[in-house]
């Protein structure tokens, strides 16, 4: 009896364990189904995000691509109307050959396009840097003090409209050399936007801020660093962006007249050689470099914005 009862009890235990295994086994497909459904939902969301990114990229890319294609189409049409104007394809082959060795040097009058770009950028950096070192402080003084503003107003109004190249003979007369004369032209052309925009930004500081500074008896340095500079910074950076555009625009014309190594002189030299392809390439180089300079200053302005 005891053996029989033990065997029955063992049999009951075995049956219960089998039911447990069966119940667990029946639950596993449900959990697997849940995992599969979650994975499918995640894949669907990722696919939707990827599709949205592709759509936004195409939407961003399509208008400028269409504009470039229209420009190339007009250019091709004009080249067929005027045989002396090279086609886009011919210009592209010339550009590939030109940039295959941009830093060759066969003497001072025969250097690669890379050296010409670097020399022009060097002149722009010197002229623009001096204009910033002088123009921005002068703008703060003009905007801060009424007497200085009234004193400088007629001088700025008189000299600002003067064509940049009109200053070139003065530079040649004073400096007796072409290179400093070109830098002088950049300096005198780039200084006005920085002076005017900085002065406007300082003059627009709310009077309440200045009243608080008087109540707190702040020093002039504290007023400059805590009130004037943060408020005028966007105006100042706008002036800097305008100035770099003017400086890069002026250097091409100045180098055409002064000679030497530079992108402007290179354009004029290629015109004398009747190499129209290189002139068109130089136009694109000037545009791309100017765009990069302005983009760089825009990124700097965003980084140092006090807003």
pLDDT in tens, the chain (307 residues): 444 444 555 545 545 554 444 444 444 455 545 557 676 777 777 887 787 788 787 878 888 888 888 988 998 898 888 888 888 888 898 889 888 888 887 876 777 888 889 999 999 999 999 999 999 999 999 998 889 999 999 999 999 888 888 999 998 999 988 889 999 999 999 999 999 999 999 988 888 888 888 888 888 888 888 888 888 888 898 899 889 988 998 888 888 888 778 888 888 888 888 888 889 999 999 989 988 988 888 888 777 655 4
Taking each helix axis from N to C end, the angle separating 146-159 and 178-203, rounded to the nearest 10 degrees, works out to 140
213-to-143, 198, 201, 235, 307 alpha-carbon distances in Å:
17, 20, 18, 22, 20
- What is the pLDDT, as a whole number, of residue 112? 82
d(CA 122, CA 183): 9
d(CA 295, CA 141): 29
The separation between CA 91 and the C-alpha centre of its own chain, rounded to angstroms, equals: 26
Tell me if residue 105 falls in helix, strand or coil: strand
d(CA 248, CA 251): 5
The token pair that represents 140 in the structure block: 């703060």
Per-residue b/e over 247-273, b at no fewer than 16 CB within 10 Å? bbbbbbbbbbbbebbbbbbbbbbbeee
- What is the pLDDT, as a whole number, of residue 28? 46
CA angle 285, 290, 295 (to 5 degrees): 125
- What is the pLDDT, as a whole number, of residue 187? 94
- What is the pLDDT, as a whole number, of residue 269? 86
Sign of CA dihedral 105, 106, 107, 113: negative
Any idea what DSSP says for residue 206?
-
Any idea what DSSP says for residue 1?
-
- What is the pLDDT, as a whole number, of residue 2? 44
Contact 184, 169 (CB under 8 A): no
């Amino acid at each position: 009896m005891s053996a029989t009862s033990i065997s029955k009890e063992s049999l009951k235990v075995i049956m219960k364990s089998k039911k447990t295994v069966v119940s667990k086994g029946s639950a596993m497909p449900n959990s697997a189904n849940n995992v599969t459904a979650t994975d499918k939902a995640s894949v669907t969301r990722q696919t939707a995000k990827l599709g949205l990114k592709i759509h936004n990229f195409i939407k961003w890319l399509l208008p400028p691509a269409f504009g470039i294609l229209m420009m190339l189409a007009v250019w091709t049409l004009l080249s067929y109307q005027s045989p002396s104007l090279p086609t886009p394809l011919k210009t592209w082959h010339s550009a590939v050959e030109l940039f295959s060795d941009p830093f060759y040097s066969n003497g001072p009058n025969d250097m690669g396009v890379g050296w010409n770009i670097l020399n022009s950028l060097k002149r722009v950096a010197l002229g623009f840097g001096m204009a910033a070192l002088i123009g921005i402080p002068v703008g703060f003084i003009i905007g801060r003090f009424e007497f200085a503003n009234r004193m400088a107003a007629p001088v700025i109004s008189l000299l600002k409209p003067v064509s940049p190249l009109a200053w070139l003979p003065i530079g040649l007369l004073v400096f007796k050399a072409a290179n400093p004369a070109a830098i002088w032209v950049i300096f005198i052309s780039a200084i006005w936007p920085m002076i005017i925009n900085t002065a406007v930004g300082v003059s627009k500081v709310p009077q309440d801020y200045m009243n608080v500074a008087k109540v707190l008896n702040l020093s002039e340095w504290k007023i400059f660093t805590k009130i004037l500079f943060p408020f005028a910074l966007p105006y100042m950076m706008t002036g800097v962006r305008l100035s770099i555009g003017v400086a890069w625009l002026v250097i091409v014309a100045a180098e055409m007249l002064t000679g030497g190594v530079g992108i402007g002189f290179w354009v004029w030299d290629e015109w004398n050689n009747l190499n129209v392809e290189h002139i068109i390439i130089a136009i694109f180089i000037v545009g791309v470099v100017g765009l990069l300079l302005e983009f760089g200053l825009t990124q700097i302005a965003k980084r140092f914005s006090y807003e």
